[in-house]
Amino acid sequence: MEINSANPEIYDSMQFSELIRSGNDQSLLKSDWSNCKLFRKMRSKSSYTYDEKIAVAVVSIISEFIAEAKALLQNLQIKNG
């Protein structure tokens, strides 16, 4: 996003939620902030999870996360040639 910005320094001070919204504004992401927030929440839970229910919840969204990551990569490649 910095590459295509008139003011790339602005991204250095943005919060994660603002980066996601900016990515959505540029059609880089497949999902909105609510899904990205869930991915982030589950990532933090996965680090120290010994509870089977939490582990199952984390694993249940992996395919959605992979689809999001692939869409982001594809959109970045298209946008940046």
Residue 45 burial (10 A CB sphere; 0-12, 13-18, 19+): middle
Q: What percent of the chain has pLDDT over 70?
A: 98
Where exactly are the structural domains of the chain?
Answer: 8-80
**HSE-CB for 52 with a 13 A CA cutoff:** 0
Dump pLDDT digits (tens) for 23-62.
999 899 998 899 999 999 998 888 766 888 888 999 999 9
3-state secondary structure of 55: helix
Which band of pLDDT confidence, cut at 50, 70 and 90, is reported for residue 70? very high
24 near 32, Cβ under 8 Å?
yes
